[in-house]
Amino acid sequence: MHVGLNAKVPEGTSVIRVTVGGESKEITLANTDYQDLVVGKFDLPSAGYHYIEVQGISNSGYWIGDINEVLIGGFATAGPLIYVKDGFYFGRRGPSVHLSFLLPGDTDVQWFYNEITVPEGDDVIGSFFMANGFAGGYFGMQVNSEMERRILFSVWSPYNTDNPAEIPEESKVLLLGKGRGVTTGEFGNEGSGGQSYKVFDWQAGNTYKFLLRGEPNGDNYTAYTAYFYAPEEGEWRLIAGFNRPLTNTYLTRFHSFLENFIPATGFIRRKGLFSNQWIRDKDGNWQELTKAKFTADATARKEARLDYAGGSEGTSFYLENCGFFDDAATLDIKLERSSTGNPPDIDFSQLEVPRL
């Protein structure tokens, strides 16, 4: 691969080092107008993701210099090139990946159960490991910063807007109640609705359980209630319950996903294990969900980023994204995990009922 820089210095001279595929070359800049400067040829060991690292070594002027463009050519660039061409915010965030669970038959589903384990080292800042997705919202856990992690449960309003202030009163999601230590409010910018979260220092390597209830609540409302089980606490905790207006349905469209919501960490690979999915109908019958379809978002589909994967490992599905790894999975394939055959052991009578 041939590499060059369109660059200039403010005055004097500067030395810049360029590294590709583990090989480094240095050039000296003395031009004060933008010019195309040849760095040299680099041998790449294989096809796949490669980075070009540019480092300022020394300067005699006010600053090292300005780089307008990185130029590439040569035989290694003759085929299709995969890189972020536009939409740089989402390009830096990286692709989001999803599991859509396939139901064994038509039924009125009242409960949806799922488990998540994040392997040690994969709890990267900006990650949202979403366990219980449904037609009205989502429920999972996040790494928000070095100091804070959250359990997040949100329900969309049926009114289509990114600004919660625009939602008419008859379309607002109503809070039914929340658990101890849970913060509630509204959200926007990706649709709008009711949001709840609990700051909780969940740990990589531990398995966390998510339980969601959804059922018609009368007067064209559906009530959604989320419960979270951490092994550190040893019991189910209420996150929140919401009433969604203009909705009269049991739970539908079961899914999970993994996304990165902080662009600055989109270069770091992360992985989540999604295990032991079950649904329970309104008559109390459990059914295990062992099949899912693997999909990804527009960032993946337009080939801005190819660092995504999904598959199965024993009784778990897994999702991976970001980090510029080369072994991308095939989109829209059907996956199957091994069955556990053991439905969740939950005493529903002991679950806290959401109350204001």
Model pLDDT for residues 97-136, shown as the tens digit of each residue: 999 999 988 899 999 999 999 999 999 999 999 999 999 9
Range of the domain at 342: 89-350
Is 32 a domain residue?
yes
Using the predicted structure, report yes or no on whether residue 218 has a pLDDT greater than 90: no
Using the predicted structure, report yes or no on whether residue 241 has a pLDDT greater than 90: yes
Same domain, 313 and 282: yes
Which residue type, as a one-letter code, is found at position 177? G
CA distance 57 to 38: 17
Using the predicted structure, report yes or no on whether residue 58 has a pLDDT greater than 90: yes
Same domain, 261 and 341: yes
Is 226 a domain residue?
yes
Using the predicted structure, report yes or no on whether residue 236 has a pLDDT greater than 90: yes
CA distance 293 to 313: 15
Is 295 a domain residue?
yes
Same domain, 68 and 147: no
- Model pLDDT, residue 273: 98
Same domain, 214 and 124: yes
Which residue type, as a one-letter code, is found at position 201? D
- Model pLDDT, residue 169: 94
Decide which of 61, 81, 101 is a domain's last residue. Answer: 81
Is 175 a domain residue?
yes
Is 159 a domain residue?
yes
Same domain, 120 and 251: yes
Mean per-residue pLDDT, 141-158: 97
Which tokens go with 99?
């599991």
Same domain, 200 and 318: yes
Is 356 a domain residue?
no
Same domain, 205 and 341: yes
Is 119 a domain residue?
yes
Name the residue among 34, 10, 35, 24 with its Cα closest to residue 57: 24
- Model pLDDT, residue 194: 96
Same domain, 69 and 96: no
Decide which of 44, 64, 81 is a domain's last residue. Answer: 81
Q: How many domains does the chain have?
A: 2
Mean per-residue pLDDT, 74-103: 95
- Model pLDDT, residue 154: 97
Same domain, 62 and 166: no
Which residue type, as a one-letter code, is found at position 233? E
The number of angstroms, rounded, from the C-alpha of 270 to the middle of its chain's C-alpha atoms is: 9
| Helix or strand holding residue 111 (H, E) | strand 109-117
- Model pLDDT, residue 12: 97
Same domain, 108 and 33: no
- Model pLDDT, residue 190: 84
Mean per-residue pLDDT, 41-61: 95
Is 355 a domain residue?
no
Same domain, 304 and 232: yes
**Confidence grade of residue 207 (pLDDT, cut at 50, 70, 90):** very high
| Helix or strand holding residue 76 (H, E) | none
Same domain, 167 and 44: no
Decide which of 81, 109, 131 is a domain's last residue. Answer: 81
Task: Please check whether residue 186 is in contact with residue 174, taking contact to mean a CB–CB distance below 8 angstroms.
Answer: no
